[in-house]
Structure 1
Amino acid sequence: MIKRYLPFFILLLFICAIDAQEAPKVSIIDITVFKEAVIGKDVQLIDIRTSKEYSAGYIDDARNISITDIDNFNAQFSKLNKEKPVYLYCYSGVRSNRASKKLLAMGFKYVYDFKGGYKAWSNQVTIDK
């Protein structure tokens, strides 16, 4: 009887093992975690707002790669290290969430989306202009 069910049991274990390997996912972080992660650190910090929004003010050391120009977006992100964490922000968090999902699809392993975005940042931190 054991021999009869052994292949089924092995298949079940194999399926469970595959399912246990969790795919990368977007981590949505608040301002406290965001500050700890990016201030004074060598990270891939990306402002995905338009260049006009970026010119009006940005977070120190942020690089501007606008999501509105998808060809440039894809080209610029293809140059970044997919194994190194990427921190994204926009004005309020909507566009950065959309961009985060695109990065996962491009193969980035560690994607962090700053909840509240630049709006939350500018309410609590001195900004560059």
Structure 2
Amino acid sequence: MKFILSFIIIAAFTLGVNAQNSKHQILDKATYQDSLVQPNATLIDVRTSEEYESGHLDKAQNIDFLNEELFITEIEKFDKSQPIYIYCRSGNRSGKAATLMQKLGFQTIYDLEGGYLNWTSQSEFEK
């Protein structure tokens, strides 16, 4: 019994430390414009390929979050220490994707506030 309790305490501590090392931030348009100039930054559209093809933000790569197995395979190819910017249609999927990415060990994740719908209203970011 002591072994199990010790294991649970150590596991909880380890998970807590890892969670503190990763960041998931909601990012507004003004802050995005200033921060995407980082040379190692990556922009990922987590919508379906059909949604992506109908329009996407400039320089965005498409990795469909709804296909979770493919999403994990593709997202694991990125450097977890570099900033990643993500968005979806309205912010729901990208929030879930950011949570998953934190669990996978990504350190700095920026979720674009309001998703594609918000970012393409009067925006120079659309492609």
Output the TM-score relative to the length of structure 1: 0.78
Equivalent position SS for 1:32: helix
Distance 1:42 1:82, change over 3 A: closer
| Structure 1, 28-37 or 39-48: larger mean CA deviation | 39-48
| Corresponding residue number in structure 1 for 2:109 | 111
Identity of aligned residues (%): 33
Unaligned runs of 5+ in 1: 1-14
| Corresponding residue number in structure 1 for 2:6 | none
Provide the C-alpha distance between the structure 2 equivalents of 1:40 and 1:22, rounded to a whole number of angstroms.
23
Contact in 1 for aligned 2:40/2:83 (Cα 8 Å)? no
Contact in 2 for aligned 1:31/1:120 (Cα 8 Å)? no
| Corresponding residue number in structure 2 for 1:11 | none
| Corresponding residue number in structure 1 for 2:7 | none
| Corresponding residue number in structure 2 for 1:30 | 28
| Corresponding residue number in structure 1 for 2:8 | none
Provide the C-alpha distance between the structure 1 equivalents of 2:75 and 2:85, rounded to a whole number of angstroms.
12
Equivalent position SS for 1:124: coil
Deviations 1:5-54 (A, max 9, x none): xxxxxxxxxx9xx98x9342311111111222226855210000000000
Equivalent position SS for 1:123: coil
Q: State whether structure 2 residue 77 is matched by structure 1 residue 79.
A: yes
Output the TM-score relative to the length of structure 2: 0.79
| Corresponding residue number in structure 2 for 1:64 | 62
Return the index of the structure with the highest Cα Rg: 1
RMSD: 2.2
Contact in 2 for aligned 1:85/1:110 (Cα 8 Å)? yes
| Corresponding residue number in structure 2 for 1:100 | 98
| Corresponding residue number in structure 2 for 1:125 | 123
| Structure 1, 55-64 or 116-125: larger mean CA deviation | 116-125
Equivalent position SS for 1:111: strand
Deviations 1:57-107 (A, max 9, x none): 001110000101111100001100100000000011111000000000000
Contact in 1 for aligned 2:40/2:82 (Cα 8 Å)? no
Amino acid at match of 1:48: V
